[in-house]
Amino acid sequence: MKSNILALLSAVSSASAVVLPARATYAVVGKPEGFASGTTGGGSAACAVPSSISQLTTWLADSTARCIVLDKEFNYIGSEGSVTETGCRPASNKCPGNGGQDAINHADWCTNGNAGAGVTSISVTYDKAGVSGLTVNSNKSIIGAGSAGVLRGKGLRIANGAKNVIIQNIHITQLNPQYIWGGDALTVDGSDLVWIDHVKVSLIGRQMFVAGNSASNRVTISNSEFDGSTSWSATCDGHHYWAIYLTGSSDLITLKGNYIHHTSGRSPKIGGNSLVHAVNNYWYANSGHAFDNGAGGQVVAEGNVFQNVVTPLLENLGQFFGSPDSNTNTACKTYLGHNCVLNSFGSSGTLGGTDTSFFSNFNGKSIASAATASSSIASSAGVGKL
- Residue 42 scores a pLDDT above 70: yes
- Whether the pTM exceeds 0.85: the reply is yes
**Averaged confidence pLDDT in the chain:** 94
| Residue-wise pLDDT tens digits, 202-218 | 999 999 999 988 888 89
For residue 77, count other CB atoms closer than 10 A to its CB.
16
| Residue-wise pLDDT tens digits, 85-126 | 999 999 999 999 999 999 999 999 999 999 999 999 999 999
Q: Respond yes or no: is residue 23 known to be catalytic.
A: no
Q: Which fold has domain 129-379?
A: Pectate Lyase C-like (2.160.20)
The C-alpha atoms of residue 330 and residue 351 are separated, in whole angstroms, by 18
For residue 332, count other CB atoms closer than 10 A to its CB.
22
Non-local (6+) Cβ contacts of 36 within 8 A are: 193, 194, 195, 218, 219, 220, 254, 366
- Domain borders along the chain are 129-379
Length of the chain: 386
User: Given this model, what pLDDT does residue 18 score?
Assistant: 52
User: Given this model, what pLDDT does residue 291 score?
Assistant: 98
| Residue-wise pLDDT tens digits, 311-365 | 999 999 999 999 999 999 999 999 999 999 999 999 999 999 999 999 999 999 9
Candidates 384, 146, 380, 386; CA nearest to 257 is 380
Q: Which residue has the higher pLDDT, 249 or 231?
A: 231
- Residue 24 scores a pLDDT above 90: no
Q: Which residue has the higher pLDDT, 310 or 15?
A: 310
**Least trusted range by pLDDT, from 24-28, 95-99, 217-221:** 24-28
User: Given this model, what pLDDT does residue 11 score?
Assistant: 37
User: Given this model, what pLDDT does residue 1 score?
Assistant: 38
| Residue-wise pLDDT tens digits, 252-305 | 999 999 999 999 999 999 999 999 999 999 999 999 999 999 999 999 999 999
Candidates 56, 74, 99, 40; CA nearest to 153 is 74
Phi, psi of 36 (to 5 degrees): -90, 15
Mean per-residue pLDDT for 23-48?
92
User: Given this model, what pLDDT does residue 25 score?
Assistant: 75
- Residue 17 scores a pLDDT above 90: no
Do the beta carbons of residue 378 and residue 385 sit within 8 Å?
no
Mean per-residue pLDDT for 64-74?
98
